[in-house]
Amino acid sequence: MQLCWGFLWICLHLLTQCNLGAAGGVGFAYAGEFMQRGYDVVICDVRDCSSAAKALESRHPEGGKIHHVKCDVSSQKDVLNLGKFAKEKLGTIGYWINNAGINGGRRDLREVSMDQVEMVVRVNLIGVLLCTKISMEIMGEQEEVVGHIFNTVGSGVKGGGTPGYACYGATKRGLPQLTATLVKELDEGVQGYEKKKTKGTIQVHSLSPGMVFTKLLLDDSTPELRKFPFGVLAAQPEEVAADLVPKILAQKSNGGSVEFLTTDRILNKFFERFILQKKSAYIDDDGNVIKMPGEQYDETGARALY
């Protein structure tokens, strides 16, 4: 099953993207956290995300402003329009989070259509490259402003196999290389060429939200996967955003790494589950998503955030 994609920006303004589109998932939660701190936000998605914007506005009436725009991140035209829209609405962009992504469905590569292969690469890799390029151009023109770009990594980022997600894992594996390259280009320039001078300072970082209970994670999952590792390590979008947003704002040097599933957190979760025998609040003993009263869930078990 193909998932939708989108971007979420938060400005200082900040710009960020989310893997299920700004209309849901961790990107929606990021937006709320930044708005609550007084940041103006631009959200965008390949779908209309006006409902998401209204929900965020109603939940954070005393927070920052929110703006929304439709955007296909694999389209040069749309990304250029996104950059223009962000500058018009936000003025100065302090943070840009590349968090859009699709997994193409959990399948053997031989069973994935050629169109799906191309789509995953276009969204997860070309989309990040296009958006990183436009964000660097914008931030470079911001006089005496430090602009931060965050590339979101996922399963496959460390080079291990990702059975069922060959395309997704390959695209995510490429992002650390991209980030490392840009850090060197910004700090040292390109050998044989004069280092480019900019009015503003640009920094590029890595962002790892870990396993988040969204459609991207739960789509085509099995009871075994939901029991472990999801039931042990996965977290709700709001929990992830509350942890990561302060870390994002605390970044000061180029090439930083921000992650939710730190070694200490992983060890603590293992200790609680396997030593203390603490049960998951989200997955039952049979590997089913525990549905809370009053909440709405889709066919994969992902909870609607608004």
At 23, is the pLDDT very low, low, confident or very high (cuts 50, 70, 90)?
low
Phi first, then psi, for residue 8 (nearest 5°) are: -130, 130
Residues near 103 by Cβ (< 8 Å), separated by ≥ 6?
3, 120, 165, 167, 168, 216, 219
pLDDT at 2 over 70: no
Round to whole Å and give the CA distance between 196 and 51.
Answer: 42
Predicted structure pTM score: 0.92
Confidence of residue 185 (pLDDT cuts 50, 70, 90): very high
Dist. CA 210–CA 207, nearest whole Å? 9
Q: Is 168 a catalytic residue?
A: yes
Q: What pLDDT does 141 receive? A: 97
Which residue among 39, 168, 282, 306 is the active-site one? Answer: 168
**Nearest of 64, 26, 1 to residue 245 by alpha carbon:** 26
Does the structure show a pLDDT above 70 at 24? no
Q: Give the pLDDT mean for 21-45.
A: 87
